[in-house]
Structure 1
Amino acid sequence: MPRWITAPAALLTVAAGLGVRALWDGPVAKYAGDALYTVLIYLLIVFILPRVRPWAAALVSAGLSWVIEFAQLAGIPAVLRPVLGSTFNPPDLFWYAVGAALAGAVHMLAEHLPK
């Protein structure tokens, strides 16, 4: 996927995450934010490696999100908590997978659009 697509998509993802948190409260905002967090990681992977296969980017982005979540069990340094979180929450793992799957599906569909 070309970088001229992934860079604005990453910015839109950040805006969507901030918007969800600003407009809603509770579990909807939290879990949408979790999924969008993984979508952002997905887009960063695709930005760095534009020829990466969607399934590989999805697995890596979900895996990185899971590693960060499990790292919260050991404790995240205070300076990194605004970005990486501070409290392990098992349902987050599911929503990271949802975000990675959705990003991978959109990427696969985009690859099959006529050029």
Structure 2
Amino acid sequence: MTAGVAGVARAAVRTRVWAAGAAVLTVAAGLGIRSVAGGDVAKYAGDALYTVLIHALVVLVAPRVRPGVAAGAALAFSWAVEFAQLTGVPAELSARSAAARLVLGSTFNAPDLFWYAVGAGAAYGAHTLWAAGAAWVRGRGGVGAG
């Protein structure tokens, strides 16, 4: 393996570790918000965090993805799930499975679309800052330089 290929492989592993950590922290944040807040605050924070989690999972699967592409994919997925709720299929699946209820929800709610966009924007910003920091470290000859 050449030094360049090895460096790319190390960067991908490092990015996946960060993405997995971000996913865990996102789930913890969602559970934490649910434990201290209720009503619309918890619901809409959960919507935004849902999209942040999807963004982290996109990066976990495709570590070289650009922040805008990952945020767009996460937002598109979140919106697709929300619009699918208009069909009644998610409600039927959610009635049979707690996992389906968590992933698919059951009832269309138009304001959710806005909060998914908020989550996508937050994930884009965090990913962009992380990528810039990683590039700065590589450029300075620090950890991950290669």
TM-score of Structure 1 vs Structure 2, range by shorter chain: over 0.9
- Residue of structure 1 aligned with 2:82, choices 69, 78, 83: 69
Q: CA deviation at 1:81?
A: 2.1
What is aligned with 2:127? 107
1:26 aligns with 2:39: yes
Higher relative contact order (CA 8 A, sep 6+): 1
Whose Rg is larger?
2
> C-alpha separation between the residues in 1 aligned to 2:23 and 2:119?
13
2:108 is paired with a residue whose SS is coil
Structure 2 residue runs without a partner (length 5+)? 1-11, 138-146
What is the number of equivalent residue pairs in this alignment? 115
Report the counterpart of residue 85 of structure 1 in structure 2. 105
TM-score, normalized by length of structure 1?
0.95
Determine the structure 2 residue equivalent to 1:37.
Answer: 50
| CA apart distance, 1:105 | 0.9
What is the match of residue 8 of structure 1? 21
Runs of 4+ in 1 over 4 A off after TM superposition: none
Listed as ranges, the gaps of 5+ residues in structure 1 are none
Structure 1 residue corresponding to 2:59, chosen from 46, 63, 76: 46
